Each structure stands twice: as structure tokens, then as C-alpha cells.
Amino acid sequence: MSRSLANATVRTQISVPLRFADGYSTTARVFSFDGLVDGQENLACGLGDRAAAVTSTGRRPVPLVRPHSECLTGDVFGSQRCDCGAQLREAVERIADSGGYLLYLRQEGRGIGLYAKLDAYALQDAGLDTYEANLALGHREDERCYLVAAQMLLALGVSRVVLLSNNPDKAWQLRRFGVTVTARVPTGVHLSATNARYLATKARKGAHMLDFPLSAG
Ligand SMILES: [Zn+2]
């Protein structure tokens, strides 16, 4: 991959005060970009004390970063079929506490799109698991690509990150695209009666590092 082909630049940045349903509030510095290779309107949300990241010695502490893939049903409507809404809420607070970026990636349904994700839900209701359903629809198990996440980070001047994720593939892809992952810290497990099977499948087939009782549910 040619680095010059993949260069992105910050297009606009604005402050957005956030307030979640549980009352938690913080302020995000929202960045948009030119030159992202997927052509999508992906966002980076700067959270917490990033300005203090430059110390008197000129050395920057490594920001905490979470690439979050869009999930309309989970993020906006609080769907309990998955844990995306809870993951997003947790990530915003943890990043605001440490200073870093939440990357909001427009790759709904592990990259297959919103309608296809709903089709996959219908297949899951007929007995397939979340990965089998994607395959039955002619998609790969997981089509997400983190190249644009790397592009956004590099456009923000961030080449080293502490990655907030349970997914080893995110770290592997970011490294491949030129971002140094100095450490990976896990997110919490947001278990409910309706997402137990989904989470167990993610842990078993998606190689997610979840501290999760696989025999349950
Ligand atoms: Zn979701």
C-alpha cells in the first residue's frame, strides 16, 4: 500500500456536548476528514484531556483509542440483541477519563450494511448464529476493515495508541496499516438475557477475548 494514496486530512473539527440516557455527560471534539478510502462519513471523537498530552519534555503520552463500528440498532435504539450501545457508552467514559479518541466507523453489521444485518437477524431467529447468518447471506463472517481508522489516527497526528478492544483483529489491522499499538486493554462484558448467545458466539468464533461463561445460555 502506498502511504501517499492513503493520506487523509482533517476537514472540520467542532465541539459537541454529549449527554447519554443514564445522565453521563462529557464534551467531544468531533473531527471529519477528507481522503478516507472507504468514501464513508467516518468520525473521530476526541475525548478527555488530550491537550495536556504534550508534556514539558515534548513527549506525548499514548492516547486510549477505540474503533467502534456503527450499529444503528444498538447505538441509537439501545437494541439488546448485541452489546454495541453499552460498549459505546463505556468507551466514551473510559476515553474521556484517560484522554484519547473514539473512532466511529460507518461499517454497520460487521461491514455488511444495515438491511443485511436485519436479514441476518431473521436467519438467527431461525437458528443460525451471527457468523453463520452472514455466510448464508453471501457475506464473509466479518467484513470490517480498519484502514480508515488508521488513516484518521495518522491525520490526527496519532501514530501510537493504547487500544481499547477485546478484538485481536483490530490490533492486527491497525499495526498492518502503520499504527503502533503499545497495549490492548479489554472492555467490559455487557451481558443480558437477549445478547448472551451473541456474546458467546463472538467469544468462541470471533476470537474475542471475553471473560465470559461460555457454558451459560
Ligand atoms: Zn450492535
From 80, 82, 77, select the one nearest 110 (Cα to Cα): 82
User: Of the residues 66, 144, 160, 175, which is catalytic?
Assistant: 144
Rounded to the nearest angstrom, the distance between the alpha carbon of 72 and the centre of ligand 1 is 7
The yes-or-no answer on residue 144 being catalytic is: yes
Grid cell for residue 122: 431473521
- Whether the per-residue pLDDT at 122 is higher than 90: the answer is yes
Rounded to the nearest angstrom, the distance between the alpha carbon of 111 and the centre of ligand 1 is 12
Residues 138-186: tens digit of each pLDDT:
988 888 889 999 999 999 999 999 999 988 889 999 999 999 999 999 9
More confident residue, 192 or 106: 106
The one-letter amino acid code at 58 reads G
- Enter the pTM of the model: 0.84
Per-residue model confidence (pLDDT) at position 215: 38
Residues 187-210: tens digit of each pLDDT:
886 767 777 777 777 777 766 666
- Whether the per-residue pLDDT at 99 is higher than 80: the answer is yes
Mean pLDDT of 67-79: 95
Rounded to the nearest angstrom, the distance between the alpha carbon of 25 and the centre of ligand 1 is 22
Rounded to the nearest angstrom, the distance between the alpha carbon of 122 and the centre of ligand 1 is 15
Rounded to the nearest angstrom, the distance between the alpha carbon of 117 and the centre of ligand 1 is 9
User: Of the residues 38, 125, 142, 175, which is catalytic?
Assistant: 142
Mean pLDDT of 125-136: 90
The yes-or-no answer on residue 119 being catalytic is: no
**173: CB partners within 8 A, 6+ apart:** 145, 146, 147, 149, 150
Q: Are 108 and 41 in contact (CB under 8 A)?
A: no
Rounded to the nearest angstrom, the distance between the alpha carbon of 134 and the centre of ligand 1 is 14
Residues 4-34: tens digit of each pLDDT:
446 999 999 999 999 999 999 999 999 999 9
Q: How many CA atoms lie within 13 A of 190 on its CB side?
A: 17
Rounded to the nearest angstrom, the distance between the alpha carbon of 85 and the centre of ligand 1 is 7
